[in-house]
Chains A and B, each alone.
Chain A
C-alpha cells in the first residue's frame, strides 16, 4: 500500500541556517509527490509538487525538493531559513488517475532568532 514517512517530528534551526526536511514514500510506480505547509490555525498551502521530468523542483518561498527514486525520497530544502518559515510541513503523495492523497505525519519546524 502507498505510504509516506516523515521521520522527523520536530526540527529546530537557527534563522539563516539551511534546512532539509525528510520524506520517504512507498510505492512501486512513480508517484505524484507534494510538500504542503501549514501555519498555525491555517489550512494547507502547496509549496511544490513533482509529477515527472526534472527531479529537482522549485517551489514558492524559496523552497526546493529533490526526487530520488533510488532512495524513495523527496526531501524538502531551503538554503536560508527565515523566522516566518516556522510551521508544520507535510509531505504527501497521490497516484495518477486516483483522487486520494496520502499524507505523512508532518514535521514541525521551529526557527530560533
Chain B
C-alpha cells in the first residue's frame, strides 16, 4: 500500500531552470495538496485541489503552477527556479479532514 508517492526525492537546480515535482496517491482521495516546509515556519500551503479538475491557490503560490492530471496525480511546476524556493516539498491527499503525506522532495536551488 504505497499511499502518497513523490518523485524525485532530491533535486538540485540552477537558478532559472524549470522542473516538475510529481505526486501520485492510490487511496482514491478527492483532495490533494502541495506544501513547502522551511525551518521555523512549519508547513505552508502552496496550492491545493479539492477535486479532479479544480485547483486553488494556498498561502504561498507565487512562482509555482500546478496540474491535477487526474484523480491520482497532482504535479507542482517551478517555471524559473529561484534560491528562495529551496525547501522541502510535501504532497498530501485527503478524504474528509485527515491528510496523508508523502515522504517529501528536498529541492535546492543554487
Contacts and interface: CB of A to CB of B under 8 A. Distances in A.
Interface string A76-112: 0000000000000010101010011101111000000
Contacts, number: 54
Size range of the chain B interface in the assembly: 20 to 34
Contacts of A51: 97
B101 A99 contact: no
Given A43-B101, A99-B31, A99-B94, A105 B40 contact: yes
Nearest to A104: B42
A38 to B, nearest CB: 9
Given A43-B104, A99-B31, A32 B97 contact: yes
Q: Is the interface of A mostly helix, strand, loop or mixed?
A: loop
A100 B99 CA distance: 10
Instruction: Count chain A CB atoms within 10 A of each CB in B4, B43, B97, B99 and give the residue with the most.
Output: B97
B78 interface: no
Instruction: Count chain A CB atoms within 10 A of each CB in B4, B40, B58, B99 and give the residue with the most.
Output: B99
B1 to A, nearest CB: 14
Interface in B70-86: none
A6 B90 CA distance: 20
A44 interface: yes
A47 to B, nearest CB: 11
Contacts of B98: 34, 46, 49
A90 B43 contact: yes
Given A45-B101, A51-B97, 6 more contacts: A43-B104, A44-B90, A46-B100, A49-B98, A99-B48, A106-B42
